[in-house]
């Protein structure tokens, strides 16, 4: 069984960080969320002068057996076709990576297609698509373990390349269905409130999706443990993202959380190792039904609300300049004593 050693950062540095932030030349608290981010990142990195190095966005891609039940508007082949688009630089995530200086890594976790690995795709394929969880578990214990380990391996590579901040994205037709299943199982929120349009279902399509997922939930005969729920209803790319997030936390890397699917992944990760949440920054509240409910249930505050629902890591990357501003604030603003300004708070 893959295990991680994730610890809560040492609290002893917190008073000094707060003092530094409070003595910058501004009224105390007047930079709001930037102050909160600077405190969190300084606490994670255990320094009064935190840094952001070599940001990377990792997209995990895989197919889902549940798409056989017509729970998605988009056909399965969109998964590999969109990966080709990533490679050619024409997707939404590509322009954002270029704009904000992110390296893009594309990982095949379980795409039902023979991809051109010589083009730069990282081959971590566990199997071609999950099984259909309407009838059986999406993956075996061994396949889940492989996903966790391979996701962790990708993050270790990023760490060796000098990254201390990572965002995670996904590509996989059907993964909002799997996310809805994790959400209802882990939060107790009724399934109907967790199911949305995905890539564009109409009301009748959403109803059909709900009915299929409800049947899947009714057929579940597992032990109800977090590991079993992750294995039974998860996507290969989602479980790989869970392993990646847990490895990032173990290495002290800042985790930028994207939309509905990646929020469910950090939730699943937290069910295994609650301390992972200390390393997470939530990029945005997406437009997928259930995302706001999920964020509220987790008692976390996203940085943006732009009506996004693309995935791929796009919302997390959009939020990155705000995180950068927090680091510039704590490192570049003068303090009252040095600037010879009377404190005005």
Query: Is pLDDT of 130 > 80?
Result: yes
Q: Which is catalytic among the residues 142, 170, 312, 332? A: 312
Burial class, 265, CB count within 10 angstroms (exposed 0-12 / middle 13-18 / buried 19+): buried
* Stretch 195-221: mean pLDDT: 92
Residue 1 confidence (pLDDT): 84
332 catalytic residue (yes or no)? no
Residue 289 confidence (pLDDT): 83
Do the Cβ atoms of 147 and 227 come closer than 8 Å?
Answer: no
Give the CA distances from residue 128 to residues 60, 243, 270, 281, in Å, rounded to whole numbers and listed in that order: 14, 19, 27, 32
∠ Cα 175 180 182 (to 5°): 95
* Stretch 286-308: mean pLDDT: 95
CA 167, 237, 128, 272 dihedral sign is positive
Domain boundaries, the chain: 54-321
Helix (H, G, I), strand (E, B) or coil at 22: helix
Residue 196 structure tokens: 């949305």
Residues 6+ apart with CB under 8 A from 276: 6, 245, 246, 249, 255, 266, 269, 270
Query: Is pLDDT of 31 > 90?
Result: yes
Query: Is pLDDT of 119 > 80?
Result: yes
Q: For tokens 């991809």, what's the residue?
A: 115
> For residues 254 and 263, what is the distance between their CA atoms, to the nearest angstrom?
15
Query: Is pLDDT of 26 > 90?
Result: yes
DSSP secondary structure of 136-200: S-SS-HHHHHHHHHHHHHHHHHHHHTT-SEEEEEEE-TTHHHHHHHHHHHHH---HHHH---TTT
Q: What is the pLDDT of residues 32-85, one digit of tens each?
A: 999 999 999 999 999 999 999 999 999 999 999 999 999 998 899 999 999 999
Query: Is pLDDT of 345 > 70?
Result: no
Burial class, 48, CB count within 10 angstroms (exposed 0-12 / middle 13-18 / buried 19+): middle
Residue 95 confidence (pLDDT): 98
> In the chain, pLDDT over 70 holds for what percent of residues?
100
> For residues 180 and 144, what is the distance between their CA atoms, to the nearest angstrom?
19
Q: Enter the DSSP assignment of 77.
A: T
> In the chain, pLDDT over 90 holds for what percent of residues?
92
Q: What is the pLDDT of residues 248-290, one digit of tens each?
A: 999 999 999 999 999 999 999 999 999 999 999 999 999 888 9
For the domain 54-321, what is the CATH code?
Answer: 3.40.50.10210
Query: Is pLDDT of 321 > 80?
Result: yes
* Stretch 146-167: mean pLDDT: 98
Q: For tokens 């009915």, what's the residue?
A: 211
Closest residue by Cα to residue 213 from 191, 244, 186, 243: 191
| Strand-pair category, 280-282 with 122-123 | unpaired
Burial class, 171, CB count within 10 angstroms (exposed 0-12 / middle 13-18 / buried 19+): buried
Residue 288 confidence (pLDDT): 87
Burial class, 170, CB count within 10 angstroms (exposed 0-12 / middle 13-18 / buried 19+): buried
Q: What is the pLDDT of residues 190-200, one digit of tens each?
A: 999 999 887 78
Strand intervals (E) in the chain: 56-62, 103-110, 122-123, 165-171, 254-257, 280-282
Q: What is the mean pLDDT of the chain?
A: 96
Phi, psi of 300 (to 5 degrees): -125, 155
Residue 73 confidence (pLDDT): 85
């Amino acid at each position: 069984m893959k295990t991680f050693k994730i610890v809560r950062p040492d609290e002893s540095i917190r008073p000094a960080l707060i003092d530094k932030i409070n003595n910058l030349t501004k009224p105390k608290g007047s930079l709001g969320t930037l102050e909160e981010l600077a405190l969190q990142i300084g606490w994670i990195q255990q320094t009064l002068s935190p840094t952001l190095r070599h940001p990377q966005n990792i997209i995990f891609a895989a197919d889902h057996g549940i798409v056989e039940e017509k729970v998605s508007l988009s056909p399965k082949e969109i998964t590999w076709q969109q990966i080709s688009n990533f490679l050619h630089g024409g997707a939404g995530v590509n322009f954002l990576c270029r704009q904000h200086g992110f390296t893009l890594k594309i990982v095949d976790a379980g795409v039902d297609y023979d991809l051109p690995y010589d083009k730069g795709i990282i081959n971590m394929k566990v199997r071609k698509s999950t099984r259909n969880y309407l009838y059986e578990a999406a993956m075996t214990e061994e396949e889940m373990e492989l996903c966790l380990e391979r996701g962790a391996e990708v993050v270790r590579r990023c760490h060796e390349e000098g990254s201390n901040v990572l965002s995670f994205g996904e590509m996989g037709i059907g993964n909002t269905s799997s996310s809805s299943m994790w959400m209802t199982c882990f939060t107790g929120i009724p399934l109907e409130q967790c199911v949305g349009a995905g890539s564009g279902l109409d009301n009748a399509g959403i109803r059909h999706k709900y009915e299929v997922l409800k049947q899947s939930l009714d057929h579940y005969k597992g032990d109800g443990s977090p590991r079993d729920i992750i294995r039974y209803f998860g996507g290969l790319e989602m479980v790989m993202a869970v392993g990646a997030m847990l490895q990032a936390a173990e290495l002290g890397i800042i985790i930028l959380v994207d939309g509905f699917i990646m929020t469910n992944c950090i939730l699943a990760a937290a069910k295994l190792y609650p301390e992972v949440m200390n390393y997470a920054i939530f990029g945005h509240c997406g437009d997928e039904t259930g995302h706001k409910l999920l964020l509220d249930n987790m008692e976390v505050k996203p940085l943006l609300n732009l009506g996004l629902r693309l995935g791929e890591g796009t919302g997390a990357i959009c939020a990155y300049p705000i995180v950068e501003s927090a680091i510039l604030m704590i490192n570049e603003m003068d303090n009252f004593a040095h600037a010879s300004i009377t404190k005005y708070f």
